[in-house]
Structure 1
């Protein structure tokens, strides 16, 4: 039997789709693994095109594979294939599949060549496949419920790969999948999509309806749900109150923030401003001062002045984030931002990123200290163990290292936080 290695870059939706690819190939008697270092007969790269760095790493892996094991068949699928098939071919890729074709990997795995339907994203009704089990045997299950985006942010070309036609999984199909996975022992579900804000778009049923129905149906179960990412302008007091009082949803949101300066946000094509964000964060921490907020930040966007950058730093200094994923602006071909004047030099972006990372570190420490001083006893779902420690996340999406490796995987445990370590904490079981 041939061995297939699936390597995934990018978002949680990609990870869910990689699991579907693996399940389909396993049913065809391929040996499927998810380890970048594994030698295999076929390498499948589920790609990302969000940043030039992601694309660089993909090309590097292709070249490394062809150099070390030339007879490996290299297959690249997903978003990068919609934006630059030429560079993939030049780096020795044998088979290229788009976001539609990768869903039907069983029809293409024996082929070579390029199969990318560039009009795929005009199809409203293309199916979203739900994996049969968690990705790569993780304890948590990535539940994809939506695909497509209508935002047209000036820096983003995911819309070229995923489209502007919104596709949503029905409530009945979602509940059927959750029910089957609970029976298999899954206890944590991460709700994911390209832009969850648009779940149910064009119908009278939206994301808030869905999560409230999930709460009603499953609140007595010993399980946990997390929403992977939301736009700030979707958040209101009702949503925060709901998450704060929920028995099964985490007291955490990940905000696709990107920046704080009103001018930069306007140039990005975002629909909110600095004043809105201040009011939003004040509202969240008024409801619960240890509510967990994580976020994405772009530094060095075209036209970002020293004043804009200071506004960003002051905001991060004022509000405690549980974590922030910051990255330097990466010019993406054919986007509006790539043609904007006042592009920021690499040196300035690097210097600003270094300063920003220190502010993020301080903000994260501020949040963790508040969590410790609150006296709460978080509940951890154990997802990994080694010879000394057990590891897992709590309901605030904080990572815990527990000095006890005798507790069972995939079990919930109340813990006491002892001290801060990097972006997580060291705890002991109560």
Structure 2
């Protein structure tokens, strides 16, 4: 039996697709492992990401490292980086390079060498999304892809060149079947993922809000939890927040692809909302529920970002408490509008601003978690180590609980304290 290690970089959609690839390879009599860094395997398949230069650097470094240890080990690279930068990956030493279309048909290519990348496959094929039947790498949560493609053309983003501007959505019937299948396996957390979930159901009479409403009606009596992975701020309205907040099975949490707060920078980025809109949005959310959990992505050092623009980020973080923030230094991506902009920010300034921003991020998240102290929540246990159990609650807050509890079971707990690893709580 041939042994393959599947290593995944990037988003939750990539993780779902890696699981799908693994399931196909198992049907071909491969022994599949995940994220072992190529140790003791005959093949290594890297599902790649092209969001940042750092992600690409790590992928090339991994390819070279694997080939140094065993030049005969077959390295297969698939996904967004391979779709957009064939020459770089080939130079690093990959044996087989597949794009985002070809990786879905891994069974046709796994025994070949060379490059197979149809650049604009979304324009030539009515390509559907492929859905795995199990959680990625035996996780306790299941990543369910429901949408692919984006039409925003943000100035900094390269993903549209790898995933396309044609929106593909999964039918409601298939989504429900996937949920029922995963629930029958005893999995109790489902995370909806895509390239831009705001476009789910584009050009149809069905959209994400209707899907949430229907799922809530269908599954509200079940011991299950649903989370939405990422949304654009301009998609969010009062009806949407109330849907999540009033549901017993959807997390009271949203992750926003926020990126910045300054209207000037947002406009330059190609975003369709303003600083004023964001203040009104956050006020609306926290009026509905002061405990509502908001996490976000932020970019610091975007071309043209002035000290005043940066201060607007700090002011916003001082006013609103976030459950978590993923902050990135702007990374110039080939063929994007931002890469051609004149007012590039020097690396040392980006580094200093990031260091400063991280202080305010820590303060914002600490204030949010401190605010929850004494609150009763429901935690789904996903890991037990020693005499402690770990899991997330409905606000997407990570808990550490003294005692050995059962994996994949919900427990009512009270938040007592917090440290750098999350909140500390006790079972009620």
Q: Does TM, normalized by the shorter one, top 0.5?
A: yes
Structure 1 319/123 Cα, relative in aligned 2: closer, same or farther at 3 Å?
A: farther
1:175-211 per-residue CA deviation (whole Å, 9 max, x = no partner) reads 1111111111110000110000000101010111101
What SS class does the counterpart of residue 76 from structure 2 fall into?
strand
Q: What is the rounded CA distance, in whole Å, between the counterparts of 2:194 and 2:104 in structure 1?
A: 15
Distance 1:319 1:123 in 2: 45
Which whole-Å CA distance do the structure 1 matches of 2:96 and 2:413 have between them? 48
- Partner in structure 1 of residue 177 of structure 2: 176
Q: Tell me what 2:70 maps to.
A: 69
Q: Does 1:136 align with 2:134?
A: no
TM-score, length basis structure 1? 0.98
Please give the alpha-carbon distance, in whole angstroms, between the structure 2 residues aligned to 1:300 and 1:36.
Answer: 34
Q: For 1:265 and 1:102, locate their aligned partners in 2 and report how far apart those are by CA, in whole Å.
A: 34
What secondary structure is seen at the aligned counterpart in 2 of 1:378? strand
Cα distance, 1:389 vs structure 2 = 1.4
1:410 equivalent in alignment to 2:408: yes
SS at match of 1:142: strand
Over 3 Å counting, the alpha-carbon distance change for 1:124 and 1:116 in structure 2 is closer
Q: CA deviation at 1:369?
A: 0.8
Q: State the 1:381 CA deviation.
A: 0.5
Instruction: Please list every run of 5 or more consecutive structure 1 residues that lacks an aligned counterpart in the other structure.
Output: none
Deviations 1:278-322 (A, max 9, x none): 000000001110100000000000000000000011101110000
Detail structure 1 runs of 4+ shifted over 3 Å in the superposition: none
Asked whether the equivalents of residues 323 and 423 of structure 1 are also in contact (C-alpha less than 8 Å), the reply is no
CA distance in structure 1 between the aligned counterparts of 2:419 and 2:137, rounded to whole angstroms = 27
Post-superposition offset of 1:423 = 5.4
Q: How does 1:322-361 map to 2 (within 5 A)?
A: 322-361=323-362
Q: Distance in 2 between matches of 1:371 and 1:36?
A: 37
The answer to whether the 8 Å contact 2:98/2:117 transfers is yes
Distance 1:69 1:389 in 2: 40
The 2-side partners of 1:284 and 1:119 are apart by: 39
Instruction: Give unmatched runs, 5+ long, in structure 2.
Output: none
TM-score (norm 2): 0.99
Query: 2:22 matched to which residue of 1?
Result: 22
Shift in Å at residue 170 of structure 1? 0.1
Residue 50 (structure 2) aligns with:
49
Pair 424,124 (structure 1): closer, same or farther in 2 beyond 3 Å? farther
The answer to whether structure 1 residue 421 and structure 2 residue 412 are counterparts is: no
Note if contact 1:123-1:165 (Cα within 8 Å) is conserved in structure 2.
Answer: no
Structure 1 equivalent of residue 229 of structure 2: 228
Q: How does 1:252-331 map to 2 (within 5 A)?
A: 252-331=253-332
Cα separation, 1, equivalents of 2:126 and 2:23: 23
Contact 2:8 2:35 in 1 (8 A): no
**Which residue of the partner structure matches residue 82 of structure 1?**
83
Counting only pairs closer than 5 Å after superposition, residues 153-172 of structure 1 correspond to structure 2 as: 153-172=154-173
Question: How many Å separate the matches in 2 of 1:225 and 1:123?
Answer: 34
Measured after TM superposition, the shift of residue 124 of structure 1 is 5.8
- C-alpha displacement of 1:123: 4.0
What is the SS of the residue equivalent to 1:152? coil
Pairs aligned (count): 427
Q: Aligned with 1:71: secondary structure? A: coil
- Give the SS at the match of 2:72: coil
Q: 8 Å contact 2:5–2:41 — kept in the other structure?
A: yes
Contact 1:155 1:268 in 2 (8 A): yes
The whole-number CA distance in structure 2 between the counterparts of 1:191 and 1:423 is: 25
Question: Is the 8 Å Cα contact of residues 15 and 135 (structure 1) preserved in structure 2?
Answer: yes
Contact 1:121–1:161 (CA under 8 A) maintained in structure 2: no
- Which residue number in structure 1 is paired with residue 32 of structure 2? 32
- Supply the distance in 2 between the matched residues of 1:313 and 1:124 (Cα, whole angstroms): 45
**2-side partners of 1:177 and 1:125: how far apart?**
21
Contact map agreement 2:148 2:163 (CA 8 A) in 1: yes
Determine if the alignment matches structure 1 residue 250 to structure 2 residue 248. Answer: no
Residue 376 of structure 1, CA deviation: 2.2
Within-5 A mapping of 1:210-229: 210-229=211-230
CA contact (8 A) 2:190 2:226 kept: yes
Deviations 1:128-158 (A, max 9, x none): 1110100000010001000000000000010
Instruction: Using the TM superposition, give the Cα deviation of residue 260 of structure 1 relative to its aligned residue in structure 2, in angstroms.
Output: 0.2
